Structure formats: C-alpha cells, structure tokens
Amino acid sequence: MVRLFFVFVLTFYFHVSVSFEGDLPPIYISPNPSTEDVFFHSGNPEIIKLNKKSINLSIGEILKNKSSLTLSQSGGIAGMNQLRMRGGEANHVLVLIDGIEVNDPASGSEYDFSHLYSHNFENIEILRGSYSNVHGPDAVSGVINIKTKNKSGANILTGSNNTYIKNYSLSGVNKFFQYGVDVNFLDSSGTDTSGSSGDRNRYENDSFRINLKSINHNFSILYFDIYKQNDRDASGNLVDNENATTDVNQLYSQYVYKNRISKRISFKQGFQYTTNKNLDFSPSNGVWETITQSEKFKTFFNTKINFIDYFSFKMPPSLSFGAEYEKINFTQLVLDQSYGNGNQNQSEYNGSFVSELIFPYKNTQIEISLRRTINQKFDNNNTHRVGFTYKLENGKVFINNATAFKNPTFTERFGYYPGTFNGNENLKPESIKQIEIGYYKSILRNKLNISQTYYNMKLRDEINGFTSDGNGGYTALNIANNSYRKGLETQIQMLINSQSKVTFKHDYVDSTQYNATAKKQISEVRRPKNVFNLIYENTFSNYLYLNTNIFYSSKVKDTDFSSWPYKAVFLNDYVIANAKLNWKLDINNKVSFIFNNIFNRKYSEVYGYNNPGFEFHINYLRNF
C-alpha cells in the first residue's frame, strides 16, 4: 500500500509543468539563501568556501586543513579515512555530493573520505547535529554536503610518493542547458602503512563526473574505479602484505526536477540510483576472497508553501511537506566456506513523510520539523527538530531540541568474514536525543566574527561492532546502557585587512559509552577531546596567495586488536603544519606549491598505522 501511494504521488507531480523562478531549497537543510534567511537558522551551519585562488585536491585534505572535525586515516593515501562528528560513529554522518547520498551500505553505511579527489569543488556545507527529521537515519550527528562546479581547464600534479594526478574539465552553455564534464586520473606508489618494511601500498583512482542542467532539470552522474593495496593478514591484523588488495567501484546518479506553481507554491522532486561494489582479495594467495555490493534506489519530492499574502513580514512564514521511498539491496559472496556459507542477498525498503513549519516574526524565528519513517524490518520511527532563534544586532542566540535514529547496518546484521566476524540479525536501531544552545556575534564593524555551540546528546542502544561472539571472533551487540556525547564548538574569524584573515576553530568533545566490566562510562575510541585549527590566509598581490594552517589533536584512545582479549591503547597528541602557495602566472595559468606536514611530525590517527611524513606536490592549472 505504501509503495502504491508513493507511485501515485510521484506520477502526479512529474506531470506538473509550469514556469520556474528562482532556486528551491530542500526542506530547510542546507538552507538556501535566496529563499530562507540562513542566518536565522537555529544552529551554526559552517560553509567552507573554497577560494578560487587556492588549489584543492581531496575532500579529506580540505576538511583537515579548513575545519576542526575529527578524521581518522589508516595510514597514507590508500588508507581508509573516517569522519566523526560530535563524538558519533563514522556512519552517523550523512555525506552528500551535490545532494546525492554517497554513504556505502555495503561497507557499514559510512563514507570513506580517502577517495574523493577533484579540482572542481565549489564549497562544503557542514551541518553539525541531528538532522534525521530531514535526511533520515544516516544524519544522526551531522551532514556534509559537498558542492561541485562546472568549469573548463586542465590540472597536472606531481609530488611525493610518486603521486600523479591529471584532471581534465569541460563546460559550456547554450540557450537550452549548461553542462560540465570532469575526468580525473590518480596514480600513487603510496606509503608504508605499517612502518615495518618500507613496502608501499599502491593506490589508483580513476573517476568522472557529468552534469547537465537547465532551468527546471538537473542530472548528475559520478563514477569511481579504485584500486588500493592494504596491509593486513587473514584475521584483519596489520602486517605487510602484497596480496591484500581491494577493488572499489562506485556509481552515483541523480535527477531532480523543480518548479514553481505560483509565487506561493514551489516543489522539488527526483530520484537517486547508486551502486557500491567492494572486491577484497585474499592476503594469503591474492585470489578474490569477498565481494560486498549494495544497490540503492531513492525517490523523493517536497512542496513548499509561502504565506506571503497573509503576513506582512520581511520573510514570510512557510510550510513544507515531503515524502521519500528508498529500497536497498545488499549482496555478499564469500570464497572460504569452511566456517559456514557467507553468500547472501538481503534487501529492505522504507518510506517517510516529513513536514516543516518556519515562522519568522520580527526578531524571532520558530522552526518545527516532524518526520515519520516506515521501515520494512524495524518499528516505525518518529523524529523531530524544534528550534528557536532570537536575532541580535549583528548576531543571534538560539536553542533547539532534536531526536534522531540509526538503523543497524547490513554489515552489523549480516556481514560475514570467515573466522573473524559474524553479523547479528537481532540488533535494534540506535536512537538519540539532542539539545543545542549557541550564539553568533559580529563586532568591530564585521571584522571579528565569533560563534559557539554547546550540545548535549544521549544515545540509546548504541551498537558495538567488536563484541566477542564466544568462538574467538567478533559480532555486533546493542549496549544495554545509554551513551553520552557533549561538547563545545568555537569559531573565531578576524579580518586583518582586505587582503588577509585569521580563523581559529576548536572542538571539545566528551564521548562516552557504558562498560559492563568496569560498570561505568568510559571514553570512546578515536575521538580526541580537543581539536584546534589555526588558519591564516593572505593575498600578497593579484598574483600570489598563501594559505597555511596549524592543526592540533589531543591524545586519542584506540584499541589493539592483535591479541585476545584486546586492550585499550593511547596515541600521542600531535601538531602538524601545512601550507599552500599559489602563483598566478596570468589570467589562464597558475602554479601551486603544496607542503603537507612541513616539520615531518611522526603521528598516528589509528593505532598501528603510520601517517605520511613531509609531503610536497606541485600543480599546474590551465584554464580555457
């Protein structure tokens, strides 16, 4: 019945065709400045605008250099790079590329930030906190929305570890539509992840992006073909190994149609189709060992009504309605059947309905958002977000309360790795309650901007994916007691003059879970309590631009899985410095010099995995 309802509604909306004016927002997350007052939102959304004067290579590098978020990379360029926000798990963060969901259901429903390289990033929107009311189960502790742009040009990069990147982009526009095509080739000999033999982990990443858009229509497709060498044995422990390799194929696509029926009513609808395939080869003999693959289809629409005729406000109140339907297929094939048959094909579907009221009045704004999620496998779930904002002179104060949930992943329920991990089909969804209080203030004629947000989150039924199964391996279990996350996020930006600015970012995170053995709350792993980032930017002339940052992470708790029972270990705190110098030769040519870990600091973000020392790259850009 639910499927028939969605088909009926979507069929109706796809046959609506009238003139379109302006851009349309999703249901108020990432707010659209042309239709909503982003500043009035009951939160402190962070937008990293990527300076056209600077070169940007990978999304992981950008976040490390320009934010205070916690990323945990298992070694060098080929190592997995996980992002944790507000003390949550990596699969508690929803990642979007141009609005396309890219979290991988085939590998724990998270996104690996090691794989996204492009010269066509425009900006990155960071929404911290619980947004399941809008985006569903994956948006428990935050949302990352990566926006690309269409341009014409070519980049060639070379540098440390025999790394070569070639990028070619072509864009154009006519009276009917505009288009963009990007092709990216990366080849690197990699680094020695284990630090024991000097054996490098090779990494290759070929990708392309196509975007076509007109006034009403927008179609995007992204494809990644990735090869990487890993350092692990058959039990997953860190050792030098030539045979342990992984092939990854990712396809992301989206079509969106948006229109305006009148000055009061607008709508947006579309669908997404994505596939992720991970082929792991055996560490012992190099033949294929495990295949995990996901296929996801999602269709959605939302309608927004502006009450412009009934309220004489500067920004009229609005009411939005939306619905989604999503189906996911999960496939796993396992070569080694000596521990049991790991071959399987699972699937599930869910639907959701969402509504949101935004009511601005003079110096205040109220936001109320509700979501009802209907899942094939689990109980139906209701989430909400209620926020209140009071506008100050050149500033604001706000408070909000939200709930969110996260369904167990396919890996946690059905994952099977011979002799090491066996999933648990009886897991329950995780649920979270959040309260946020914060402010933003601009002083000294907008030369000094300060924002802070305090949050307190309670997580129920947290899933521990490394619990003993009683047979010498691991499984996943819900933790009986609550887990807690609280912290303070601070950003201070000082405009020194028209050519330079300094930005200071700090995240304090206290993330704990209940330990049944110790009978108390203990700190969770891979979550430094303090992260600082000091960023300095200066344009010396129309031809020379400098971007530097100093990044500090306090010590990190991790786990040593090399023996049973596994034990807690602590990684040292560290400071690293990075710099980019961009020299504009003329209007179409630019050379960039990239210095990472300038002082060659030895540090690890994951136990046992060494991160690269000093790295240098040089990039040549030709616009046409």
pLDDT band at 243 (very low <50, low <70, confident <90, very high): confident
User: Which token pair is 276?
Assistant: 């992720």
Looking at residue 17, what is its pLDDT?
29
- What is the average per-residue pLDDT within 205-210? 96
Mean pLDDT is lowest, of 273-287, 336-350, 421-435, 474-488, for 336-350
Looking at residue 400, what is its pLDDT?
96
Q: Tens of pLDDT along 370-412?
A: 999 999 999 999 999 999 999 999 999 999 999 999 999 999 9
pLDDT band at 24 (very low <50, low <70, confident <90, very high): very low
Give 333's contacts (C-beta < 8 A, 6+ positions apart): 290, 291, 342, 343
Looking at residue 416, what is its pLDDT?
86
Q: Tens of pLDDT along 339-349?
A: 788 899 999 99
Looking at residue 280, what is its pLDDT?
93
Separation of alpha carbons 578 and 535, rounded Å: 10
DSSP 418-470: TTTEE--TT---EEEEEEEEEEEEEETTTTEEEEEEEEEEEEES-EEEEEE-S
Sheet holding 474-478, edge to edge: 416-417, 421-422, 474-478, 463-468
Looking at residue 198, what is its pLDDT?
66
Whether 462 and 478 have beta carbons less than 8 Å apart is answered as yes
| Statement: residue 13 has pLDDT above 80 | no
Residue 464: burial class (beta carbons within 10 Å; 0-12, 13-18, 19+): middle
Higher pLDDT, 448 or 242: 448
| Statement: residue 19 has pLDDT above 50 | no
Mean pLDDT is lowest, of 267-271, 400-404, 526-530, 539-543, for 539-543
User: Which token pair is 85?
Assistant: 């926000």
Instruction: Using DSSP, state whether 2 is helix, strand or coil.
Output: helix
Looking at the 3D structure of the chain, how many domains does it have? 1
Higher pLDDT, 480 or 23: 480
Give the residue numbers spanning the domain of 321.
2-623
Q: Tens of pLDDT along 593-605?
A: 999 999 999 999 9
| Statement: residue 5 has pLDDT above 50 | no
**CATH code for position 363:** 2.40.170.20
pLDDT band at 519 (very low <50, low <70, confident <90, very high): confident
Looking at residue 408, what is its pLDDT?
94
Among residues 583, 576, 448, 437, the alpha carbon closest in space to that of 504 is found at 448
Quote the radius of gyration of the chain (alpha carbons, Å).
24
Strand 142-148 with 93-97, pairing: parallel
Looking at residue 36, what is its pLDDT?
54
- Taking CA atoms, 71 is separated from 112, 333, 379, in Å, by 10, 30, 33
Separation of alpha carbons 75 and 399, rounded Å: 39
| Statement: residue 14 has pLDDT above 70 | no
Separation of alpha carbons 228 and 80, rounded Å: 10
| Statement: residue 7 has pLDDT above 70 | no
Looking at residue 88, what is its pLDDT?
93
pLDDT band at 172 (very low <50, low <70, confident <90, very high): very high
